Structure 1
Amino acid sequence: MWTERGGAMGIGYEGRTIAELVGELRGLRVTTLVDVRLNAISRKRGFSKRALAEALRAAGIEYVHRPDLGNPQDNRAGYAESWQSETGREARLRYTDYAIATEAGHAAIAQLVDLAIQQRIALLCFEASELHCHRREVLAALHERLEQLVHA
């Protein structure tokens, strides 16, 4: 599942093979994949940093890892909850305070804005649905910045 917001989209690799992910990214004309996992490791074959970067490079897609936009392990369980539940809201607010609303978060989002203006990018994490993934908050912050540029 992917969603597009502004100059970027989100994509999860849950339930996919590496070939399926790369094929979809190529079909969507993505030029850069931004991995927003805190640790770019996976028990799923092909999705750890080195193997993923090699598969993407072979397809003509650049790989960028942004661990500074990753969700801390102890906050991930809250994302399994609905954003409407107290636990779900707390997890999302905690992530935003941890990674997006900081000086480093603002700088990271600014760099993504620069990429999204120049290229077609996709933000990657595990979860198929953005409703259960922190990349939704990253995309929202990115989209907000892109909108500000359009209306400036």
Structure 2
Amino acid sequence: MILSTIGYEAATLPEVIGTLRTAGVEVVLDVRAVAASRRAGFSKTMLRASLEAEGIGYEHLRGLGTPKPGRDAARKGRIGEMETLFFEHMATPEAQDALALAVAIARERPAALLCYEACAAGCHRRIVANMIRKATGCEIRDL
């Protein structure tokens, strides 16, 4: 079982969809706290419709998004601070419920965690992917 991760920072929507299709992804797990974007096509409603038109499912897991103070820290390059805040957030019931859903989906279908940052190393989706790997034993692939 493989769990993919993808960031759309440096890509267009057609490029992201093409990458997902090539990787065999069947469902995108949007792990943004706020599923809105200034980038064309990446706001929740348009993204869901575009993915579904290509046969790819979509699930917004707001509970796996980074809280605002963590996003602010990440924007300023303070990745350690973002990680600390995100781990604190992951102890909340909302986050644990969302993680349980993500684990269940990842066990059933080839999934990809989606967030903005192009590089997974500085993004909270890496942490979420590792939590899912711990629960499922899956391999993680950054697209």
TM superposition score normalised by structure 1: 0.83
Q: Please list every run of at least 4 consecutive aligned residues from structure 1 whose deviation after the TM superposition is greater than 3 angstroms.
A: none
2:127 alignment counterpart: 137
Residues 1:112 and 2:102 are matched in the alignment: yes
User: What do you get for the CA RMSD once the two structures are aligned?
Assistant: 1.8
Corresponding residue to 1:91 among 73, 82, 89 = 82
Question: Which one has the largest radius of gyration?
Answer: 1
Report if the CA contact (8 A) 2:103-2:132 is conserved. Answer: yes
Residue-by-residue CA offset, 1:92-123 (whole Å, 9 max, x unaligned): 0111111x223332222221111111100000
> Conserved in 2, the CA contact under 8 Å of 1:78 and 1:91?
yes
Structure-2 residue corresponding to 1:3: none
SS in 1 for 2:35: coil
In structure 1, the partner of 2:32 is 37
Mapped contact 1:7–1:146 kept (Cα < 8 A): no
Q: Specify which of 42, 45, 58 is matched with residue 63 of structure 1.
A: 58
1:91 and 1:38 map into 2 onto residues whose CA distance is 14
1:79 counterpart residue number:
74
Distance 2:132 2:92 in 1: 14
Measured after TM superposition, the shift of residue 79 of structure 1 is 2.6
Letter in 2 for 1:96: F
Q: Distance in 1 between matches of 2:37 and 2:31?
A: 13
1:7–1:104 CA distance, 2 compared to 1 (3 A): farther
CA drift of 1:58 comes to 0.8
Moved more, 100-109 or 121-130: 100-109
Q: Which has the higher contact order (CA 8 A, sep 6+)?
A: 2
Pairs aligned (count): 138
State percent identity of aligned pairs: 36
Residues 35 and 63 of structure 1 are in contact (CA less than 8 Å); yes or no, is this contact kept in structure 2?
yes
2:6 corresponds to which residue? Answer: 11
Q: Which runs of 5+ in 1 are unaligned?
A: 1-5
